[in-house]
Amino acid sequence: MTTQEILFYAFAALAVVSALGMVLNLRNTVAAAMSLVVTMVSLAGIYVLLEAHLVAAIQIMVYGGAIVVLFLFVVMLLNLRADEFAPGRQWLTKLAAGLVVFAAGAELIRLLSGELPEPGELPPGFGGYRMVGISLYTDYVLLVEMASLLLLAAIVGALILAKRRID
């Protein structure tokens, strides 16, 4: 096995194990959140192996860092346990989770049963911030602007909600 393969299997195993740890860790929500961090970081490792360096860095900064810290914030402040979640909504959560798993599983089977594509040559600078930036601001500029508008709306909405409670 090459170094790349060893690293890939190590990161992949870590990602799967920590993801299972997150899902199965029902009694301790903080431990579940920390497992999620490990999953995110191992995914970032896989992205690095795929030459997607910018995505890897953003994966750690945004998902591994900021978002899960916010999760932790809420979890720690509320100190919730599994049995304290609203019982009436449980079937809805389970249905949604089941649908997602079913869709992902079906897609996986479809991919694995067909012919796997041959790996091609990467263009120079692939996955770097330069190439990603250029394609974001030329080919996908409309989508970027729409996403930024959406985020702005979310910020303003959060501000209004929080402000009402302060006043």
Partner 1 sequence: MPIEVVVKTLFIILVVVGALAPVITWVERKQSAVMQDRIGANRADVAGITLLGLLHPAADVLKLLSKEDVVPLGANRFMHLISPLIAAVPAIVGYAVIPFGGVYQFGDTRLSLVAADPDWGLLYIFAIGSIATYGTVMAGWSSNNNWSLLGGMRAAAQMISYEVTMGLSVVGIFMVFQTLKLTDMALAQDTTFRVLGFLDVLFGIPVPAWLDWVRLPAWGIFYQPLAFLMFLAAIMAENKRPPFDAPEGESEIIAGFHLEYSGMRFGLFYMSEFIEVIVIAGLVATIFLGGWAIPYLSTQTIIGGVGSVLGTGFATGLCMLLHFGCFMTKVVVMIWLQMALRWTLPRFRYDQVMDLCWKILLPLSLANIFVTGFVMLLVEG
List interacting residues with partner 1 (CB under 8 A). 28, 30-31, 34, 37, 41, 44, 53-54, 56-58, 60-61, 64-66, 69-70, 72-73, 76-77, 128-129
Q: Which is nearer to partner 1, 31 or 109 (CB)?
A: 31
Q: Which is nearer to partner 1, 77 or 116 (CB)?
A: 77
CB of 16 to partner 1, least distance (A): 20
CB of 31 to partner 1, least distance (A): 8
**H/E stretch holding 76:** helix 68-78
CB of 25 to partner 1, least distance (A): 12
Q: Which is nearer to partner 1, 20 or 69 (CB)?
A: 69
Structure tokens at 109: 């089977």
CB of 15 to partner 1, least distance (A): 16
Structure tokens at 88: 């009436």
**H/E stretch holding 88:** none
Q: Which is nearer to partner 1, 119 or 124 (CB)?
A: 124
Letter for the amino acid at 6?
A: I
Q: How far apart are the first and last CA of the chain?
A: 63
* Closest residue by Cα to residue 80 from 36, 28, 132, 131: 28
Give the C-alpha separation, 102 to 108, whole Å.
Answer: 10
Q: Given CA atoms 145, 146, 149, 150 in this order, what sign does their dihedral have?
A: negative
CB of 153 to partner 1, least distance (A): 19
Q: Which is nearer to partner 1, 51 or 107 (CB)?
A: 51
Give the C-alpha separation, 126 to 56, whole Å.
Answer: 13
**β strands within the chain, DSSP E:** none
